[in-house]
Homo-oligomer: A and B are copies of this chain.
Amino acid sequence: MFSNFSCKEERSSVSESNIANQNGSHPNLILTQNSVSKIKSQLGNVPVFDATLAAVKQDVDLAIKAGIDVPIPKDMAGGYTHTQHTLNYKNMQKAGVLFQLLEDEKYAIYVRDMLLEYAKLYPTLNRHPQERSYARGKFFWQCLNDSNWLTYTSQAYDCIYDWLPKEQSDYLNKSFFRPYADFLSIETPKYFNRIHNHSTWGNVSVGMIGLVMDDDELVNRALYGLKNIDIDNNALDNDGGYIYDKDGKAGFLSNLDSPFSPDGFYTEGPYYQRYAMYPFMIFAEALQNKKPELKIFEYKDGVLLKAVDALLNLTDANGEFFPLNDGQKGMSYFTSSLVSVVDIAYHYGNQKPELLSVAKAQNAVQLNAAGLDVAIGLRDGKEKPFIKKSMELTDGAKGDEGAVGILRYNDDNNTVGLVMKYTGQGLSHGHYDKLSFSLYEDGEEVIQDYGLSRFVNVEQKNGGGYLKENKTFAKHTIAHNTVTQNETSHFNYDFAVGSNNHSEKYLFDASNPNVQIMSAKETNAYPGTNFHRTMLLIKDAEHKKPYVLDLFKISSEKENQYDFPYYYFGQIISTSFDYKAEKNLAELSDKNGYQHLWKEAQGKAEADHIQFTWLNNRTFYSITSATSNNDDIILARIGANDPKFNLRRDPAIIISKKNTKSTVFASIIESHGDYDPVAEKANMAYSQFKAIKVVVDNKAYTALELEFKSGVSRVFILSNGNAAKDAKHTLKINGKNYEWSGSYYFK
């Protein structure tokens, strides 16, 4: 209809004798002519590569058997047409690789026939009928998914490009791919010209097809963004983020400059970094193969390779990403897109043997030179364990906009991870949770970060998209393990203000594995109030397990209410304080996320410390916290005002101080025992601590005393203003002189 290649029979007969008849240069993106030769020579001799290839062949053979299905776009994510178009690009990409490596023309025919169906469909389409997105696509409800499609399909097209008669590739280039690339860029600038993971995909998809077609205009558009366009600087996307960067930056390189810190931390958070890493790395690989003069892997001091390392470290013991900002729990570095990312990092980096152990766990490789390299490394037993260490990952393009701190303790019995967030806002996926933290033990959440409120790709739940409660609860401060002042979220929940600010690193020192410390300040979340949080992960001879010391110092001239939650899991075993359970449940308050918390019970501390013990996953945990007599203790549960049951019914304990100026929250969080339901034995069911006390708190110093039940005590003193390693300090507490060098004392 649109060309003389639309008749299947004719096409087959024209093309099938064409293989290797064109002495073109393709493939030259992800596979290259050289790498194809090398791979072929190794097949049968590289177990992980061979196994991946066999699995891919099985998938595609089934897909070919099932036949080509290119439905008219209709559904939201999770629906039939969405799922089918997603399947199509994945199968085409795989089929392209199979054609190159196995030399079986049926795979080329499959890609070609499907492409011709798409080329036929494309001109008939307006924007997708679902109107939910700020940037509606063609085959999908949002351009983002169209760019996924084009990024994968470009690879397939590259693999059959030389095999296709020139008339056919000309036809596809002119009638389909170039218009499609223009659609995703020129026709949708608010999608293409952002600093955002969406735009990265947009840039990469346009760049990848540009590289296939040798269309430098597209490649440059991808690298440097659209120029001279009319923009509305205040336009917002679906997630409430700004569409345009205030400095007018756009394009792939700008998306490398700005959301990435020099340490490779991606400001949106690990869940979105995982999503963005594939296009970043796959385009970098293509550029390195086709335009090596760009030296893309050396860009910004090698930030792409650092980013892979950072991302792998932003995970719990099971490889699942910390759900900072908007992040869906359960996503891990075993996701298929990270197979390519790890392989590319290995191949184009310094063949770090630690990456091989991740690849080994992934048990699959990218089917190209990078994957071959990894498979050979694995075959030859070169891998070393990837041991996650304590580290601080700075945020901000220049690394001066706060950081994420990760303290870890690993030995034969314990795998503890403590994550503290003192970053910038994190673009539109950021949460209002300055100085928040989460705690992991053996890959299980002990004190959780709620993550996002969304069921990705579950169609029944708002088409798989973000749920209302993401904005009304999950992003709010009270949903996090940090302090909310006067029942109002940080920066008054104002995205513009939040985006202009970030927390400040104060101290990070993991050099002593038994006393690791991180500390940061936040002075802008509430004007007139300064926060300073310090967290330690301590392995003490007095305690079988590592424990957390948590010091949250607040300075203010005005009286405020400070609410300080810990989101634990499981069942309450004992409390040192009396409380009264509510006969009827009501929301805790009426806005800023509080409306989603049921108040289940309330009590008063009535003591200078409280203790709270719970049981989860057959493990006993306790929080011991310094209090004032008059502090309210609230036992809360998520789920109020949740008309569609979108939220998980998880519990929290909230310490609330009212009419308070400056103060300190100081707590010990410990895992201390376990319950065996088969032996019916409770082992170490009680906290090992008797109390925690604030013994000094002034501008210069805060000192805490930790009392074990054994009678042993520890003193922790923090210099609140001088974090210098060589500073000398002396302080008299209760008649005893303490002298030390450096920012803190612990003994």
Chain A contact residues, CB within 8 Å of chain B: 78, 328-332, 334-336, 455-461, 464, 571-574, 580-581, 583-587, 598, 600-601, 613, 615, 618, 635, 637, 639, 641-645, 648-649, 651, 675, 677-682, 685-686
Contact = CB atoms under 8 A, between A and B. Distances in A.
6 contacts: A455-B573, A461-B573, A464-B682, A572-B645, A581-B642, A584-B584
A516 B328 CA distance: 40
Nearest to A330: B677
Contacts of A675: 455, 458
Given A458-B682, A613-B460, A645-B572, A584 B586 contact: yes
A515 B686 CA distance: 51
Contacts of A457: 680-682
A134 to B, nearest CB: 21
Contacts of A682: 78, 455, 457-459, 464
A686 to B, nearest CB: 8
A250 to B, nearest CB: 28
A678 B573 contact: no
A651 B457 CA distance: 24
Nearest to A639: B600
- 9 nearest CB pairs, A to B: A330-B677, A585-B585, A460-B574, A572-B645, A581-B643, A456-B680, A458-B682, A335-B678, A584-B586
Given A581-B642, A584-B586, A458 B685 contact: yes
A645 B649 contact: no
Given A455-B615, A572-B645, A685 B332 contact: no
B678 A334 contact: yes
A328 B78 contact: no
A331 B680 contact: yes
Nearest to A586: B584
A711 to B, nearest CB: 17
Nearest to A328: B677
A641 B583 contact: yes
Given A78-B685, A461-B573, A649-B649, 9 more contacts: A329-B677, A455-B573, A455-B682, A456-B677, A458-B675, A459-B685, A571-B645, A583-B641, A585-B586
A429 to B, nearest CB: 16
Contact of A328 (B574, B585, B680): B680
Contacts of A332: 678
B571 A585 contact: no
A78 B683 CA distance: 9
B455 A330 contact: no
Contacts of A461: 573-574
Contacts of A685: 78, 458-460
Contacts of A644: 572
Contact of A458 (B464, B601, B615): B615
Contacts of A583: 587, 641
A455 to B, nearest CB: 7
Contacts of A642: 581
From A331, A461, A641, residue with most partner B Cβ within 10 Å: A461
Contacts of A464: 682
A601 B455 CA distance: 21
Contacts of A618: 330
Nearest to A460: B574
B635 A645 contact: yes
A675 B331 CA distance: 12
Contacts of A581: 641-643, 645
B615 A637 contact: no
B331 A678 contact: yes
Contacts of A585: 584-586, 598
A456 B587 CA distance: 34
Contacts of A586: 584-585
A678 B361 CA distance: 14
Contacts of A78: 682, 685
Contacts of A643: 580-581
Contacts of A329: 677
A643 to B, nearest CB: 5
B328 A571 contact: no
A622 B522 CA distance: 47
Contacts of A677: 328-331, 456
A674 B678 CA distance: 30
Nearest to A675: B458
Contacts of A641: 581, 583
Contacts of A600: 639, 645
Contacts of A635: 645
A489 B473 CA distance: 39
A733 B571 CA distance: 52
Contacts of A330: 618, 677-678
B573 A460 contact: yes
Contacts of A648: 571
Given A335-B679, A458-B573, A637 B613 contact: no
Contacts of A587: 583
A584 B336 CA distance: 44
A83 to B, nearest CB: 8
A459 B683 CA distance: 11
A586 B680 CA distance: 35
A212 to B, nearest CB: 27
A566 to B, nearest CB: 15
A587 B328 CA distance: 33
A581 B598 CA distance: 13
A682 B581 CA distance: 39
A710 to B, nearest CB: 15
Nearest to A676: B330
A600 B651 CA distance: 16
Nearest to A275: B680
A144 to B, nearest CB: 13
Nearest to A335: B678
A602 to B, nearest CB: 12
Nearest to A648: B571
Nearest to A681: B457
From A328, A455, A459, A580, residue with most partner B Cβ within 10 Å: A455
A571 B331 CA distance: 18
Contacts of A601: 645
A342 to B, nearest CB: 14
A742 B376 CA distance: 65
A641 to B, nearest CB: 7
Nearest to A614: B645
From A581, A642, A675, A682, residue with most partner B Cβ within 10 Å: A682
